[in-house]
Each structure stands twice: as C-alpha cells, then as structure tokens.
Amino acid sequence: SYVLTQSPSVSVAPGKTARIPCGGNNLGSKSVQWYQQRPGQAPVLVIYYDGDRPSGIPERFSGSNSGNTATLTISRVEGGDEADYYCQVWDTTSDHWVFGGGTKLTVL
C-alpha cells in the first residue's frame, strides 16, 4: 500500500517561514491535501489540490508538490499555527485514502 512519510517535528521562530515536507513514491503525480490539527480539536483542511486554499484559510499557507515530495509552507508563522500537520492522498491502486504520520510544528 502507498506510504506517506513525514518528519515527526519541525520548529520555527515566530515571524519566520516553516516548511513541512511529505514524501511518497511519485507523489507529484497525485493530489495532496494538508490538514492542521490543534490539540483537542478535529482536523481542518488547509490545502487541497497540492496548493489551493479553502475559504477562510490565510494566504500565509501555501503548498507545492513535485517529484517525490510535497511541501506545506507557512509564512510569517504565528503562535496559533502550533499544531500537528498531516498530508494526505488518494491511492488509486488500493482505493484507499492515505495519511502521513503527521508533523508537530512547534513555534519557539
């Protein structure tokens, strides 16, 4: 089955840019979604179709996807961005949704 790999943690200072990678075989051929999950809350979709933002998601959130890596980029990081972030794809081979293991973003 398809596997998405994420680093367990990323740290960034307030006001700086956070980049959260997600790896998978030929990931650039798939559509990648990103979810933000704050402690005790349900996940929230922040990026879909690799780089599109749902309404209400700040422009500071952007995404890219090429080759074997997709990246969620958060510009001008704020304390409220501290959360777990999950990447996700639809695997057409297994007809399964697949999540990455998640990355905890810490704002220093």
Partner 1 sequence: QVYLVESGGGLVRTGGSLRLSCVGSGFSFSGDYMSWIRQAPGKGLEWISYISGSGTTIYYADSVKGRFTVSRDNAKNSLYLQMNSLRADDTAVYYCARFVNFWSGFDFWGQGTLVTVSS
What is the nearest approach in angstroms of partner 1 to the Cβ of residue 13?
26
Size of the site for partner 1 (CB under 8 A): 26
Rg (C-alpha) for the chain, rounded Å, is: 13
Residue 51 Ramachandran class (φ > 0 left, ψ -120 to 50 alpha, else beta): alpha
Under the binding rule (CB under 8 A), the answer on residue 71 touching partner 1 is no
Under the binding rule (CB under 8 A), the answer on residue 49 touching partner 1 is yes
Under the binding rule (CB under 8 A), the answer on residue 96 touching partner 1 is yes
* 27-to-2, 31, 32, 66, 103 alpha-carbon distances in Å: 10, 8, 8, 7, 18
The contact set with partner 1 (CB under 8 A) reads 1, 31, 33, 35, 37, 42-45, 48-49, 52, 54, 84, 86, 88, 90, 92, 95-102
